[in-house]
Amino acid sequence: MSDGLPPRVPKADAAGKSPLLEVRHLKKYFPIYKGVLRKLVNQVRAVDDVSLFVREGETLGLVGESGCGKTTVSRCILRAIDPTSGEILFREADDKVTNLAALDRSELRRFRPQMQMIFQDPFGSLNPRMTIFEIVSEPLYVNGMRSKTEREDHVAELLRLVGLRTEYMARYPHAFSGGQRQRIGIARALALNPRLVVADEPVSALDVSVQAQVLNLMLDLQQKLNLTYLFVAHDLSVVKHISDRVCVMYVGKLVEMATTEELFQAPRHPYTAALMMAVPRPDPSSRDIIQDLPGEVASPANPPSGCYFHPRCQFATEVCRTQTPELREITPDHFVSCHRAEELHLAGIKVNQETQI
Amino acid sequence: MDSIEPKILQPEGAAPLEKADPAIYPPDEAVAAPAEIFEEPLVTTQEEERISIASNWTLVWWRFRKNVLAVVSTVILLFLAIVVLIPDFFATMDPEETNARLAFIPVQRIHWLDEGQLKPWVPSVVGKRDPVTLAMKWTTDETQKTYIRFFGTSWSYSVLGVFDSNIHLVSAAKVDQADDDLAAQIFLLGTDRLGRDQWSRLAFATQISMTIGMISVIVSVVLGLLLGGISGYFGGWIDNIIQRLIELLQSLPTIPIWLALTAALPRTWSPEKVFFAITIILALRGWTTLGREVRGRFLSLREEDFVLAAELGGASQARIIVKHMIPTFTSHIIATSTLAIPVMIVTETSLSFLGLGMRPPAISWGVMLQEAQNIQTLALAPWLLFPGLIVIVAVLAFNLVGDGLRDAADPYSH
């Protein structure tokens, strides 16, 4: 491990236990209607055949440009929006695997406590008309904890856990800074002892100094409470810092999934390599010319044929134009959806040895 | 050669990376230790502490009270509300009592001081018939003083149906030297064509006109919340139908529709029936604006993160609507409704003025203004326009309060 990340999940463990969450061929199409008769004219393929898995106790980063469907994936997993098709397999504590995509709203309520979400916007995610106590204790109340003193004790414990003073309980969200609000959001997400926490860009709305605090808090809580994170972000440095494995999305499709180290050092998909190129390097002596990708991001309403990335890919061949590549495992734990993954040797980012302790 | 140097690795202070690392990957004992308090409390002073635990309604009130015009208007409206509740308390006589001999008595000016003492009185009026035109000419006789008594007793009336009272705000103190009934009466705002006391009529007209405005707004709010809520929450075809209905209702020209509807009310109906029919007619179109607003709120709130958070926490649909959605737009609904009341009042007044709304013997501001329909009356008895002034005051007050509420409704916008 050259970047100093302790291996929280041994890779070999995958064979032993099935992943906590497995998503298979997830699709979410948003219809476009036109005219008085609301005729279906097209569909936006926000999520187009995404398969991924999250092992218990690990952090899976999900990165991609704005509009690539990463938030849609995370919301589909939580069934905040209903997927068009695909399977969302969730393993409960007793190893029973359930397909969440097939459940209706009332059946889902049993699973809600096990999967919680941390939101991007620390302002919009807390109801300004409720006190901190009301916000954090609501999940407890609706899940059957009716005694107020019991809830107060629980909320106090949660606030301590996320590093807030318990006297803050009576306050309203307007009395808090962005970082503090995000801690409140984390406390609410943890109220029900979830096993999977989906974090949708939890730090991108925060100041850089506060980002580090919140990320470290999340890592800390992961170790204490054995949490599993699905961490959605667009900031590669944040993802690299917190993730064990990383998925890269492009126009609704998953292009690559590998361990953080491998993905950053030896990307196998040309798009991942391009993303790595775009990371700014704090090296004033560097005279590298950054090569921009030609063209524009494809429209998910009108994606190109074959591989969605082929119009912008310098390695594209005939097969890329006609056939859609499947996501396949080319080396253990390294999944790529590229026809030429084996032949290409792409430059990643050498992880600086100095960062090691 | 290159490294991405995660900027997050360096919290404030730009500590060298080697030093920052242990903080990010804390050793086990650090993890086991209780979480430290990361941030200093934002709140230091007592004032800030007060703000931090202030609920939404407190914040709304704090902002509202900064608006002087709105606060003054609130006081005016509160006064009008008292008039609405107990008009008998303000009336000096029966508003329907006619006396042809006392027609067109002008406004009696109140003199507050009597021989250096605070003892309000009005000069008596003396009527003389013009021998040529045979018209009554009223003059005041400053030597004949009718003293005003505050909180005197007179006829008995019921207060909100709870208890009876016979106390009245103002009445004429009977004076010994009075030899005719004029000295025992006061006409603070003069009389009309039939010799009815305008002051007393105005008190009862306020009751009717304000109540029509409020009730039709309440009916509008109920309809608007219900239909707008259904439209916004469920969406789909039902939303489509309700929205097209709103567009249809809003595209109808209002005056002809109101005229047609009110003209269709049977002449034989009692004033109470007409009253409720008019409130319904006004509300039929009034709910559309509110329905749109409620729908818009529901649509935007459905997308709010805190609503999603409640849903993920396991809250039921009913709880989300009642606990999260409705409290968020209540203040807006109140502001919008307050702004809708003056529209209703003006409409009712206009309809009654045209003889199509409330009809005598019911008394409303519009009915009273009917008396001031011709130029002759206006020239000879301008005090008959006084109800118009009250309409202006009431409408302005409602508008100013509504504006103040609207500005204060969302304390989080700043």
Residue A278 has a pLDDT of 78
With a CB cutoff of 8 Å and minimum separation 6, the contacts of A120 are A200, A201, A202, A204, A205, B305
Interface of B with A in 37-56 (CB under 8 A): 37-39, 41-43, 48, 51-56
Nearest CA in chain A to B16: A355
Nearest CA in chain B to A160: B35
In a domain, B129, yes or no: yes
Is B185 found in the same domain as B226? no
**Rounded Cα–Cα distance for residues B197 and B181 (Å):** 14
For the entire predicted model, the pTM comes to: 0.74
Report how far apart, in Å, the C-alpha atoms of A212 and of each of A175, A229, A357, B41 are: 22, 17, 18, 19
Total domains in chain B come to: 2
Contact (CB<8Å) A142/B315? yes
The shares of helix, strand and coil residues in chain A, as percent rounded to the nearest 5, are 35, 20, 45
- Type of residue numbered B392: I
Q: Nearest CA to CA, how far is B283 from chain A (Å)?
A: 30
Mean pLDDT of A92-109: 85
Q: Considering B165, B190, B215, which residue would you say is the last residue of a domain? A: B190
Is B271 found in the same domain as B388? yes
How would you write the pLDDT of chain B (414 residues) with one tens digit per residue?
444 444 443 344 444 434 334 444 444 433 333 444 555 555 556 767 777 777 778 888 888 888 899 999 999 999 999 888 888 888 878 777 777 777 777 777 777 777 777 777 777 777 777 788 777 777 777 777 777 777 877 778 888 878 888 877 877 776 554 445 666 677 777 787 777 888 888 888 898 888 888 888 899 999 998 999 888 888 888 898 999 999 998 888 888 887 888 788 887 888 778 888 888 888 888 889 889 988 988 888 888 889 999 988 888 888 888 888 888 888 888 888 888 888 888 888 888 888 777 777 788 888 888 888 888 777 878 888 888 888 899 999 999 998 888 888 776 654
Is B306 found in the same domain as B205? yes
Contact (CB<8Å) A212/B38? no
- The per-residue pLDDT of chain A, averaged, comes to 84
Is B253 found in the same domain as B379? yes
Q: Does B237 touch chain A (CB under 8 A)?
A: no
B chain contacts of residue A224, beta-carbon cutoff 8 Å: 31
Q: Categorize the per-residue pLDDT at A62 as very low, low, confident or very high, splitting at 50, 70 and 90.
A: very high
> Of A51, A31, A27, A47, which is closest to residue A39 (Cα–Cα)?
A31
Asked if B123 and B108 count as a contact pair (C-beta separation under 8 A), the reply is yes
Helices and strands (DSSP H and E) totals, chain B: 16, 4
Is B185 found in the same domain as B218? no
In a domain, B171, yes or no: yes
Of A78, A127, A217, which has the smallest distance from its Cβ to B312's Cβ?
A78
A chain contacts of residue B10, beta-carbon cutoff 8 Å: 212
Is B172 found in the same domain as B288? no
Interface of B with A in 290-349 (CB under 8 A): 304-306, 308-316, 319, 323-324, 327-328
In a domain, B402, yes or no: yes
Maximum distance among all Cα pairs of chain A, rounded to whole angstroms:
68
Best residue in A195, A226, A234, A355 for a mutation probing chain B (most B CBs within 10 Å): A355
> CA A164: distance to chain centroid?
26
pLDDT in tens, A120-152: 988 889 988 888 999 999 999 988 888 888 899
**Rounded Cα–Cα distance for residues B87 and B185 (Å):** 18
Nearest CA in chain A to B3: A352
Of B3, B36, B314, which has the smallest distance from its Cβ to A109's Cβ?
B314
Is B384 found in the same domain as B336? yes
Cα torsion A96, A100, A104, A105: sign: positive
Is B244 found in the same domain as B153? no
Of B3, B37, B412, which has the smallest distance from its Cβ to A355's Cβ?
B3
Contact (CB<8Å) A172/B306? no
Q: Nearest CA to CA, how far is B325 from chain A (Å)?
A: 10
Q: Can you give the length of chain A in residues? A: 357
Cα torsion A162, A164, A169, A174: sign: negative
- Type of residue numbered A270: P
With a CB cutoff of 8 Å and minimum separation 6, the contacts of A327 are A51, A254, A257, A335, A336, A337
In a domain, B347, yes or no: yes
**Rounded Cα–Cα distance for residues B218 and A327 (Å):** 60
Domain of B221, CATH number, reads 1.10.3720.10
Helices B198-234 and B386-409: crossing angle in degrees, nearest 10, is 30
Is B303 found in the same domain as B234? yes
Residue B6 has a pLDDT of 42
pLDDT, greater one: A100 or A353: A100
In a domain, B44, yes or no: no
Contact (CB<8Å) B2/A350? yes
Is B387 found in the same domain as B267? yes
Q: Considering B190, B220, B254, which residue would you say is the last residue of a domain? A: B190
Domain that holds residue B113: 100-190
DSSP state of A245: E
In a domain, B4, yes or no: no
Interface predicted TM-score (ipTM) of this complex, two decimals: 0.85
Tell me the H-state helices in B14-104: 17-24, 28-32, 46-52, 56-64, 68-85, 87-90
Long-range contacts at A26-33 (CB < 8 A, ≥ 24 apart): A26/A50, A26/A51, A26/A73, A26/A76, A26/A83, A26/A85, A26/A86, A26/A87, A26/A88, A26/A101, A27/A83, A27/A84, A27/A85, A27/A86, A28/A69, A28/A72, A28/A73, A28/A76, A28/A81, A28/A83, A28/A84, A29/A84, A32/A301
Is B294 found in the same domain as B186? no
- Assess whether pLDDT exceeds 50 at residue A2: no
For chains A and B, count residue pairs whose Cβ atoms are closer than 8 Å: 181
Is B262 found in the same domain as B177? no
- Assess whether pLDDT exceeds 60 at residue A30: yes
Q: Nearest CA to CA, how far is A346 from chain B (Å)?
A: 15
- Assess whether pLDDT exceeds 90 at residue A66: no
End-to-end CA distance of chain A: 11
Residue A185 has a pLDDT of 93
**Rounded Cα–Cα distance for residues B413 and A229 (Å):** 33
Record the tokens describing residue A97, joined without a space. Answer: 């695997």
Nearest CA in chain B to A353: B3
Residue A199 has a pLDDT of 92
Nearest CA in chain B to A186: B309
Residue B31 has a pLDDT of 38
**Rounded Cα–Cα distance for residues B364 and B171 (Å):** 23
Residue A219 has a pLDDT of 92
**Rounded Cα–Cα distance for residues A240 and B7 (Å):** 11
In a domain, B321, yes or no: yes
A chain contacts of residue B59, beta-carbon cutoff 8 Å: 174
Contact (CB<8Å) B21/A121? no
> CA B238: distance to chain centroid?
32
Contact (CB<8Å) B304/A124? yes
Q: Considering B164, B190, B216, which residue would you say is the last residue of a domain? A: B190
